[in-house]
Amino acid sequence: MLDLKQKAVLVIGLGRRGSAACELLRASDARVVALDCADTPELRSEADRLRSRGVEVHLGVNQAPGRDFSLAVVSPAVPSDNPLLAELAARQIPVIGELELGYQQARCLTMAVAGTNGKATTGELIESMLVRNQRKTLLCGHGARPVCAAVGQSSELDYLLLQVNAFQLETTRFFRPAIAVLMNLAPDHRDRYPRAADYARVMARLFANQQSFDWAVVQSEALSQLRSANLPLPAKLITFSAQNRRADLYLDRGRIISRLPDWSWPLLDLSHCQLQGAHNAENLMAALAVGRILRLPLEAMTDVLAAQPAGPHRFERVGEINGVTYINDSKATNVDALHRALEYAPGGAGEPNIWLIAGGIDKGLEYYDVGPLISRRVKGAFLIGAAAEKLRAAWGLFTPCTLPGSLLEAVVAATAIAVPGDVILLSPACSSFDQFRNYQHRGEVFRQAFADLAGHAPAPITPSAETIART
C-alpha cells in the first residue's frame, strides 16, 4: 500500500473522481493541493467543502504550484499531451490516476471489466451474481462510484469490482486485477487514440501486471487484436464470443455453450433471459466465465443472470404512442453501439422503419462505416449537437438528414411524421457533453419528451450504480 502520511500530493481536476481522491488522501493524512482549470459555481461550492476538510484548492488555473510534490493524481479527462502533465514530468513528479490511487489503497481482491461497449452491463451482471451468492461486492469505477470513494469500505468486502475505460488505464502503474475482463475493442475515442493499435495498447494495460495465477476473460475478436499488436496476456485465459464458435464460451442457436474442461455443456438459453441480442449474450458469457473462475454453482448464476433487466438508457423501451415505439439508447456513445442498436431494433418487414436521433461531440470516429446499415433500417435521421454536420456528410447519401436545434425538437419532429410500426430511436454515436451533463441527462430529456407527448409523467428509472453514487 502506498504510504501517504504527510506526503504533499497534487490533485488535478475536481470532478467526482478528483474530489473522491482528495477525500481519500486527507483520510490518509496527506497534504493535498487541488486545482482545476475551470471556475464554475458548482466547483466553487465543492472547493469550499474540500477546504473545510483541509484541502488547498485553486480554480481557474493551468499551472501547478512551484513547490515540491511527492505525487500527482490526475483526472482521466485530462489528455496525456496536456502541457501541465509535461510540466510535472519535467519536474520528475510521479503521476497516477484516481483508479490507481484507489486500487493501491484498497484492502480486498480486485476484479475489473473494460472494453468499448458492454462493461457497465457486464459489471452489473457480475455484481448481482456475486451478491446473490453471498459474496460481499461493490461496483465502482467508470460510470459508477469513484474507486477512491469505496476504499473505506474495502476491508469489509470480498471483491472490489471495477469498470474501467482507456482514459483510466493510461495512468495506471501497479494496477493488477485478479480477474480482468475485456469485452471488446470496437473503434472509440479516435480523437485521443488516432490508431487502433494505440487504443489496443492502452486497453492492454488491464493485463500488464497480472501473474500466471490470475485470470483474463477476453472476447475472441479482442484477443486477436491484442495478439496482432504483440501485446502479451500473462494470466490464465478464458475466451468468449457471439460470433466465433471456437471460443471457450460461444453462442449457438440462442444458447450459450461452454467447451471448458469439466464444464462442457449448454449453460444458458437466451430465450429465458430479459437481456436479449448477441451483444448481451457476450455480456452474459463474460459474467458466467467470472462465476466459473470463482466456482459458483451454475444454477445459482443462471437464475440471477436470466432475471437481470437492461439498465436505464441502454436500449430502454420508453413506451409507445399511436403504434410508434420510443427507445432510449443514450448510452450508445460510439458507432459500434449504434450499429448494435440498429440491428436489434424491432424490424420493419424489410423496409426502413427507424427515425434515428443522433449527434453530440465527435470522437473522431468513422461514421460512414455504418452507412449501409442506416440505408436498410433508417427512414430519416435527426442530427443534433456539435457533430451534426459531420454526421450529415457521412450519412446523407444513405438516409434523409435533418438538423433540428435540440433533442426536444428532434423528438417532436420525428413524432409528427412517424406511422404505426415505426421506431423513434435515440442512439447518438457521440458523447453528450456539448448539450448535456452526461449520457444519463440526455436520456432523461428524451424520456421526458416522450412523457410530455404521451401526456403523462415518465416512469421512474431504477437507480443505477451511477445514480446511487451521486446521492
What is the pTM assigned to this prediction?
Answer: 0.86
Residue (of 119, 221, 214) closest to 168 by Cα position = 119
How does pLDDT run across 94-136, given as a tens digit for each residue? 999 999 999 999 999 999 999 998 999 999 999 999 999 999 9
pLDDT in tens, 14-39: 989 999 999 999 999 999 999 999 99
CB hemisphere CA count around 317 (13 angstroms):
13
Residue pLDDT, tens place only, 403-458: 998 999 999 999 999 999 999 999 999 999 889 989 999 999 999 999 999 986 56
Grid-cell match 475505460, residue found: 165
SS3 274: coil
Torsion angles phi and psi, residue 38, rounded to 5: -90, 165
Cβ–Cβ under 8 Å, residues 126 and 113: yes
* pLDDT at residue 292 greater than cutoff 80: yes
In three-state secondary structure terms, 425 is: strand
**Residue with grid cell 486545482, as numbered in its chain:** 35
Other CB atoms within a 10 A radius of the CB of residue 149 amount to 21
Nearest residue to 168 (alpha-carbon basis) of 152, 148, 191: 148
Cell numbers placing 251: 453462442
Residues contacting 443, CB < 8 A, separation 6+: 312, 313, 316, 328, 330, 331, 426
Domains of the chain and any CATH numbers: 8-93 (3.40.50.720), 103-307 (3.40.1190.10), 316-458 (3.90.190.20)
Residues 62-86 have pLDDT tens digits of 888 988 999 999 988 787 888 899 9
- In the predicted model, what is the mean pLDDT of the chain? 92
DSSP designation for 376: H
Please give, one letter per residue, the 3-state secondary structure of 437-470.
CCHHHHHHHHHHHHHHHHCCCCCCCCCCHHHHHH
User: Average pLDDT of 236-257?
Assistant: 96
Three-state DSSP class for 123? Answer: helix
* CA terminus-to-terminus distance, the chain: 29
